[in-house]
């Protein structure tokens, strides 16, 4: 059983899939106006971990993660760099995908882009207009928040409070200050698409509704993202989608807390920007993953320069221990494995799991417990959480030595020295190494 904290209900709940054995999950992806930074990557490592935990529990997980490749900020940045917005977007999409491959994030089912779904977006807006959830003013289309009775149900905000506290500058075209744009008319020199309301481009929120419905259906299991997206982005996604379909949009909403530097959210404008690719020049992807997972995803993560180094040192300890003591995937401490998997299944409690594993590792180093079992279990759980253990050079040496032994044994057999050849086999077996003679030579295996 997997339990997760659902922002929608404000409670930790047992996960019940729409279709048995399957999970459909939408992850809000990057707005490709800039490089992927340390704060973004927290959300993507987290959604990757969630996916892996579901997969370990036997679920088939379909993840869709979009790219917002048209947006006011993208147009602005493209102007700043004197380039085409498409080239700018492609550049940052490439950097994101490269970084996520290095971070061993499993690729999604697809990476839909907003600009490739204009038709679906227009159809969705047409339906909203038809149902009178949207209105047109001078080529712009706005969503009428008053019409959607449950507006605020995700962020637990009340419309009246939003209006009175609204810092949005008053737009005389809007019926209500918190109404938001579904379609924006293009100004001179800006990219545009043809629509029934004139030349324009989609608003940010509508693209996620259109793309998630297209690839995952009108109701899907999990919608994930950072807490900064709860309002207005996810609230608006719900308002748009549920107004059109009349169905629950997503059953579970999972939000990770922010990464902060000196109390501030990481962003370009605050010049506290740390690009993932630059960070990965200094520390390994495993160490960066450990850095994220040491803190629970529902807690803010405060960045300081030391914490990355600490993770690096801790990761080295794990890698060294596994390298020295791992012998086989079958050497496991089942009680330990079951215990930590229960913690992972309980709202993805990675700090608790890591705490347990590091204390077992410390004990094993001081002679308590079976080192081989501890190494096997640690490697397995780390791999479930998305870490990668490279085959070390030492293993290549073992390969070389084994190949030499096998060749000598072959020579002995050809010279009919069966007694010595059998002695080699017997002695290796006593060391837990099995030789298997077959048509294409002799293979070996550590039991």
Closer to Zn ion at the Cβ: 8 or 28? 28
Query: 150-154 contacts: CB < 8 A, separation 24 or more?
Result: 150/238, 150/239, 150/242, 151/235, 151/239, 152/235, 153/8, 153/235, 153/238, 154/7, 154/8, 154/230, 154/231, 154/234, 154/235, 154/238, 154/253
Q: How far is the CB of 237 from Zn ion (least distance, A)?
A: 6
Q: How far is the CB of 201 from Zn ion (least distance, A)?
A: 16
Name the minimum Å distance from CB 378 to Zn ion. Answer: 36
Which positions touch Zn ion (CB under 5 A)? 28, 208
Of 155 and 328, nearer to Zn ion (C-beta) is 155
CB of 3 to Zn ion, least distance (A): 25
Q: How far is the CB of 390 from Zn ion (least distance, A)?
A: 35
Cβ proximity to Zn ion, 28 vs 222, nearer residue: 28
Nearest alpha-carbon partner for 361 in 340, 378, 386? 378
**Whose Cβ is closer to Zn ion: residue 28's or residue 185's?**
28
- State the minimum distance, in angstroms, from the CB of residue 68 to Zn ion: 7
Q: How far is the CB of 234 from Zn ion (least distance, A)?
A: 7
CB of residue 216 vs Zn ion: minimum separation in angstroms? 13
CB 247 within 8 A of CB 218: yes
Closer to Zn ion by Cβ: residue 28 or 357? 28
Q: List b or e across 105-120, with b for residues whose CB sees 16 or more CB atoms inside 10 angstroms.
A: beebeebbbbbebbeb
Nearer to Zn ion, 28 or 259 (CB): 28
Of 249 and 291, the one with the shorter C-beta distance to Zn ion is 249
> Tokens 């070996």 — which residue?
444
Q: Which is nearer to Zn ion, 208 or 361 (CB)?
A: 208
Tokens matching residue 96: 């994101």
Nearer of residues 154 and 208 to Zn ion, judged by Cβ: 208
**For residues 179 and 207, which CB has a smaller minimum distance to Zn ion in the complex?**
207
Least Å distance, CB 213 to Zn ion, is 12
Beta-carbon contacts of 255 under 8 Å, excluding residues fewer than 6 positions away, are: 7, 224, 225, 226, 227, 229, 230
Min CB(346)–Zn ion separation in Å: 27
């Amino acid at each position: 059983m997997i339990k997760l904290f659902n922002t929608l209900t404000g409670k930790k709940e047992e996960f019940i899939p729409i279709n048995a054995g399957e999970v459909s999950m939408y992850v809000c992806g990057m707005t490709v106006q800039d490089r992927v930074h340390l704060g973004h990557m927290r959300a993507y490592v987290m959604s990757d971990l969630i996916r892996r935990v579901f997969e370990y529990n036997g679920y088939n997980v379909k993840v869709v993660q979009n790219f917002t490749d048209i947006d006011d900020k993208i147009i602005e940045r493209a102007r700043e760099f004197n380039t085409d917005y498409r080239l700018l977007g492609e550049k940052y999409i490439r950097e994101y995908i490269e970084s996520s491959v290095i971070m061993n994030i499993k690729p999604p089912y697809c990476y839909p882009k907003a600009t490739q779904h204009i038709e679906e977006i227009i159809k969705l807006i047409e339906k909203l207009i038809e149902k009178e959830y949207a209105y047109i003013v001078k080529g712009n289309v706005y969503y009428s928040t008053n019409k959607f009775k449950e507006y605020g149900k995700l962020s637990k905000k009340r419309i009246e409070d939003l209006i009175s506290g609204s810092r949005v500058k008053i737009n005389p075209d809007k019926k209500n200050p918190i109404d938001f744009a579904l379609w924006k008319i293009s100004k001179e020199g800006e990219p545009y698409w043809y629509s029934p309301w004139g030349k324009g481009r989609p608003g940010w929120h509508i693209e996620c509704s259109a793309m998630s419905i297209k690839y995952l259906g009108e109701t899907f299991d999990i919608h994930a993202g950072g807490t900064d997206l709860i309002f207005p982005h996810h609230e608006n996604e719900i308002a748009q989608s549920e107004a059109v379909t009349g169905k629950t949009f997503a059953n579970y909403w999972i939000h990770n807390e922010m990464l902060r530097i000196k109390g501030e959210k990481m962003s370009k404008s605050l010049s506290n920007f740390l690009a993932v690719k630059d960070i990965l020049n200094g520390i390994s992807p495993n160490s960066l993953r450990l850095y994220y997972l040491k803190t629970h995803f529902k807690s803010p993560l405060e960045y300081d320069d030391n914490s990355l180094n600490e993770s690096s040192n801790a990761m080295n300890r794990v890698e060294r221990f596994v390298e020295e003591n791992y012998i086989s995937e079958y050497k496991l401490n089942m009680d330990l494995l079951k215990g930590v998997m229960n913690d992972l299944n309980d709202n993805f409690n990675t700090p608790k799991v890591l705490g347990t594993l590091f204390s077992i590792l410390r004990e094993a180093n001081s002679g308590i417990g079976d080192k081989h079992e501890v190494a096997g279990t640690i490697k397995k759980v780390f791999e479930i959480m998305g870490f990668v253990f490279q085959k070390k050079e030492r293993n290549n040496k073992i390969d070389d030595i084994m190949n030499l032994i096998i060749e000598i044994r072959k020579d002995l057999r050809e010279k009919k020295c069966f007694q010595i050849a059998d002695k080699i086999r017997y002695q290796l077996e006593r060391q837990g190494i099995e030789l298997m003679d077959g048509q294409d030579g002799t293979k070996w295996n550590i039991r």
